[in-house]
């Protein structure tokens, strides 16, 4: 395999991985923010982390695919070569996703900043215009 074919293979893989990640983001749009961020960050790390193709090689391949291939062909001991870096990066991404704070949206701020009610016996409600 020539280097130009290897680069074209990486380009095809990155395009497919990006499509999968965009699909995941669109599918998880209604989930809670923390869970969605955790899912998307760990998936991105698992898809985009590179690792050496073989020992002594100067070519990189996706670490997750290298781990799976090594496990299926050479056994568990060889699988740990790429599996360790995959587990470390996925765990780090999960930790970052959990620790990052969630920013309040505009809707949350509006509900917290309610105007004081006017004095009198009659309650008056302020009309809310629909927003897009």
User: What are the pLDDT tens digits along the chain (132 aa)?
Assistant: 888 999 999 999 999 999 999 999 999 999 999 999 999 999 999 999 999 988 888 889 999 999 999 999 999 998 999 999 999 999 999 999 999 888 876 665 555 555 555 555 556 667 777 776
pTM of the model: 0.72
95-130 burial, b at 16+ Cβ within 10 Å, e below that, comes to eebeeeeeeeeeeeeeeeeeeeeeeeeeeeeeeeee
Give the containing element (helix H, strand E) for 50: strand 50-52
How far apart CA 14 and CA 16 sit, in angstroms, is 5
């Amino acid at each position: 395999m020539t280097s130009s074919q290897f680069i074209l293979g990486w380009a095809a893989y990155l395009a497919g991985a990006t499509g999968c990640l965009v699909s995941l983001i669109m599918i998880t749009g209604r989930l809670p923010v923390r869970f969605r961020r955790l899912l998307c960050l760990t998936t991105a790390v698992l898809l985009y982390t590179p690792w050496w193709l073989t020992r002594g090689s100067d070519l990189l391949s996706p670490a997750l695919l290298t781990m799976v291939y090594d496990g299926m062909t050479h056994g568990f001991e060889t699988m740990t070569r790429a599996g360790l870096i995959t587990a470390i990066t996925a765990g780090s991404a999960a930790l970052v996703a959990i620790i990052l704070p969630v920013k309040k949206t505009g809707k949350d701020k509006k509900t917290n900043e309610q105007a004081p009610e006017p004095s009198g016996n009659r309650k008056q409600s302020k009309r809310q215009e629909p927003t897009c």
